[in-house]
Amino acid sequence: MDCPFCNTDLNRVVDKRAVKGSGEIRRRRECLKCKERFTTYERLAKVEVLVIKRDNRREIFDRMKLRAGIAKALEKRPAFDQVEIITERIENRLRRAGTREISSRIIGRAVLAELKKLDKIAYLRFTSVYKKFNDPSDFAKIITSLGAIK
């Protein structure tokens, strides 16, 4: 592990703790050269899951892509601080499924379910992209299904 201050790889672990609920290990390190302290996190390398896209292409599951989609839906919303929690919850659910391939539709539905419980506006935003809305009437149908319009 290189020191972020002086780039040397000479350091020692000062403190090590498990991070509750994440399966990570937090290590507090001290650089032996510049004496600065920094923190690293260790996570178990996970088995690669392939996502089957709508056009049947397969690509490696990208946690950051999932997180970016959720963050975009929750942008400027009161629940924005829940982005990481939702991302972690969905990723864990996918990994527990025990399959090496998963449809992007299943991932999309999982995001929709989380957003619907958390924030209806974020749900609407994500739905409009996920279902490729082309017309304002598409929004009206979803809003009606949410019980906002009678």
pLDDT at 26: 94
With beta carbons less than 8 A apart as the criterion, state whether 42 and 22 touch. Answer: no
pLDDT at 148: 53
pLDDT digit string, tens, across residues 55-83? 999 999 999 999 999 999 999 999 999 99
CA neighbor of 128 nearest in space, from 72, 76, 57: 72
User: At which residue do the structure tokens 């592990």 appear?
Assistant: 1
- Please give the Cα distance from 49 to 138 (Å, whole number): 32
With beta carbons less than 8 A apart as the criterion, state whether 122 and 77 touch. Answer: yes
pTM for the model? 0.63
In the chain, domain spans:
11-42, 50-145
pLDDT digit string, tens, across residues 30-43? 999 999 999 999 98
pLDDT higher than threshold 60 for residue 149 = no
Question: For residue 52, which phi and psi values (nearest 5 degrees)?
Answer: -90, 115
Q: What does the block give as tokens for 41?
A: 């996190």
Classified as helix, coil or strand, 53 is: coil
pLDDT higher than threshold 50 for residue 150 = no
pLDDT digit string, tens, across residues 49-59? 899 999 999 99
The least confident of 2-6, 21-25, 44-48 is 44-48
- Please give the Cα distance from 87 to 71 (Å, whole number): 9
